[in-house]
Amino acid sequence: MYKLAVDAMGGDYGPKVTVPACVNFLAGTPDASILLVGNRTMIQKEVEIYKQRRKIETSFVDEVSNPRDGRLTIRHTEREIKMDQAPANALKHGKDSSLWICLDEVKNGNSDGAVSAGNTGALMALSRHIVKTISGISRPAIASSLPNVSGAGTTVLDLGANISCDADQLVQFAIMGTAFSVAVENITSPSVGLLNVGTEASKGDGVLRQAGKLLMESPINFIGNVEGNDIFYGKVDVVVCDGLTGNVALKSSEGLAQLIRHHLKVEFSRGLYGKIASIVSLPIFKRISNILDHRTYNGAALVGLDGVVFKSHGSADEFAFTYAIKRAAHAVENDLNGKIRTAIIGEQSCRKKNLSLAS
């Protein structure tokens, strides 16, 4: 049995999304429990709405009315981090907020992981302050997966935590991305590529060239430089980049997916032939829509922290937030942080050996 702390108040919709998502997750995961942190009255209201809407009576839902040691419990707080709250302000005034308490639960070992749809800057700042980083990691990164032609998903990091990085940090991202791919995406021996303006080793600035050299000398399964389109071709399992590049790639892919879905809907509703075609091709259209649905990839890990912390899209609906919880659960079940620690030790040992041989 493992336990996740969920920031019930985070995101654009708060308990209206987080509460039903938690119940959905627990309904299909009997070996998990969730601590919902937030306004008790608002949470219990959403539980009652959920029960009426789904017409269910389950033991873990009923326990919310009088939580003791049940699988779904509440910790009350009236304080929350606003979506537009600056990281510095959150650090100064955020104590006893729902997000702070969730992270404190992880730090103290009371919960195995935390999930929040709160604002990214505050989440990263509070996580680094409360949970700290794994020994040997200089900066945490944001890691998630994007769809590719194989259907497995390509892990990409950093997706926005670090605007600029040095070569050593990119190597650390590769280590953490490899661990994420194994723990969350169930990939055996993931291949790693460095996002660049070309595949040749001579491409890119000094940082990218040095990072490529270090990765070639590391125990990581590094295949060399990759380009942006390789993310979606599935050329490698893990793509490493700085946070600015990664965030642009993420937002661009989400926008393109929405554009394709929009035009498909428009064309299928245009005239008699379009409507006939839509009926005939409906199963195919649904499959394509599911592949392009970014909600099924919701849930980014703040890798490098000394605890499992996952970030959901702030605009996530119930369906998407459930996926974020599932991904956090996979990370806990498959010991994401243990894999990162082991890999960091292995890379450091390999680097010392290379330096010894060089001298």
Q: Which two three-digit tokens encode residue 91?
A: 């650090």
- How far are the Cα atoms of 72, 155, 177, 187, 342 from residue 181, in angstroms, in the given order? 29, 6, 6, 6, 15
| Residues 74-114: tens digit of each pLDDT | 999 999 999 999 999 999 999 999 999 999 999 999 999 99
pLDDT at residue 63, as a whole number: 52
Q: Which residues have C-beta within 8 Å of that of residue 262, sequence separation ≥ 6?
A: none
Domains in the chain, start-ordered, CATH in brackets? 1-134+304-317 (3.40.718.10), 138-299 (3.40.718.10)
Q: Is the pLDDT of residue 192 over 90?
A: yes
| Residues 220-264: tens digit of each pLDDT | 999 999 999 999 999 999 999 999 999 999 989 888 888 887 888
Angstrom distance (rounded) from CA 226 to CA 192 = 9
| Residues 198-214: tens digit of each pLDDT | 999 899 899 999 999 99
In whole angstroms, what separates CA 13 from the centre of its chain?
A: 19
Of the given ranges (18-27, 132-141, 214-223, 258-267), which has the lowest mean pLDDT?
258-267
pTM above 0.85, yes or no: yes
The residue length of the chain stands at 359
